[in-house]
Amino acid sequence: MKCRCVCKVAGLSVDNRGMKTRFILIETSHAGNVGAAARAMKVMGFDELVLVKPRWANVLRKEETIQRASGANDVLDKARVVETLDEALDGVTHLCATAMTPRDFGPPTRSPREHFAELTQPNAPEQSVAFLFGSERFGMKNEDVYRCHVALSIPTNPKFGSLNLGSAIQVVAYDWREALGGFPVQDVIEPADKADAQQVAGMLTHWEQALTDIGFLDPAAPKKLMPRLNQLFNRADLSPEEIHILRGVAKAMIQTANGKR
């Protein structure tokens, strides 16, 4: 069974496998992307966000940021804004750049899934992992990439590989969460209470009247129409709310047949 335990140590989100995780956005220029990042992180169970010299000093409080976060306000509330990458990397032991283009003399370029499988091998050491994302317009600077242990490149269509910042963070966060053990698939929501036989019978009586009034059912020769409708509705496992809707339809048919609106 997959465990979803997460605790906090030294300012980083700590997974049950001992991995500490931080997402770092460098010189982000669009407030909405900060909100999108918070949302992407929260749905994957991460909450450690650091912004390095964003365009807007108050970006965490801007309306566009909060709207795009779509409820991930707790991630925004604990996010930090710092002036330098050195400050953002405090306590981190394994740096992952996100760079689509390999750099000369830079770290090896690997897909997230491939690299994460290696990081989470049973005998692999525990790490404090940081994912670095560059500015929307220019990506990551060479000097920042060179500091990293790996450059993660999301496999995309070679003819159209551009991902916006929020989407890239979502992909990386998803693959990292899966590598850490993932979340269990949520159980199917239990259906609403079923209507009882009395409710179904009352609805059928209402429909019988309505079908008669609109001329669809001949009371003198009903044949098997109502028993067949009874079986149809039994197979549908109707809820009380659905019974209410069907009786509303019957009422409208009766009113229309009698010239009432």
pLDDT tens, residue order, the chain (261 aa): 333 334 443 345 555 456 899 999 999 999 999 999 999 999 999 999 999 999 999 999 999 999 999 999 999 999 999 999 999 999 999 999 997 666 666 899 999 999 999 999 988 888 999 999 999 888 888 899 999 999 999 998 988 878 899 999 999 999 999 999 998 887 655 656 888 999 999 999 999 999 999 999 998 888 899 999 999 999 988 999 999 999 999 999 999 998 865
Question: CA angle at residue 192 from 190 to 195, to 5 degrees?
Answer: 140
> Which is nearest to 131 in space by CA: 99, 103, 100?
99
> Which is nearest to 197 in space by CA: 242, 251, 245, 233?
233
Query: What pTM did the predictor assign?
Result: 0.68
| SS3 per-residue string spanning the chain | CCCCCEEEECCEEEECCCCEEEEEEECCCCHHHHHHHHHHHHHCCCCCEEEECCCCCCHHHCHHHHHHHCCCHHHHHHCEEECCHHHHCCCCCEEEEECCCCCCCCCCEECHHHHHHHHCCCCCCCCEEEEEECECCCECCHHHHHCCCEEECCCCECCECCCCHHHHHHHHHHHHHHHCCCCCCCCCCCCCCCCCHHHHHHHHHHHHHHHHHCCCCCCCCCCCHHHHHHHHHHHCCCCHHHHHHHHHHHHHHHHHHCCCC
CA distances for 172 relative to 19, 150, 255, angstroms: 15, 13, 58
> What is the pLDDT at residue 193?
82
> What is the pLDDT at residue 19?
83
Tokens of 130: 């940081």
Beta strands 150-152; 12-15: pairing state: unpaired
> What is the pLDDT at residue 11?
44
> What is the pLDDT at residue 4?
39
CA distance linking residue 203 with residue 243, whole number of Å: 7
Give the residue range(s) of CATH 1.10.8.590 domains in the chain: 197-257
Give the residue range(s) of CATH 3.40.1280.10 domains in the chain: 6-179
> What is the pLDDT at residue 189?
55
In words, the CATH class of domain 6-179 is alpha beta
The CATH number of 197-257, from 1.10.2020.10, 3.90.550.10, 3.30.460.10, 1.10.8.590, is: 1.10.8.590
> What is the pLDDT at residue 15?
58
CA distance linking residue 82 with residue 22, whole number of Å: 14
Residue 261 CA, distance from chain mean position: 45
> What is the pLDDT at residue 8?
40
Q: Which residues pair with 20 in a beta bridge?
A: 14, 128
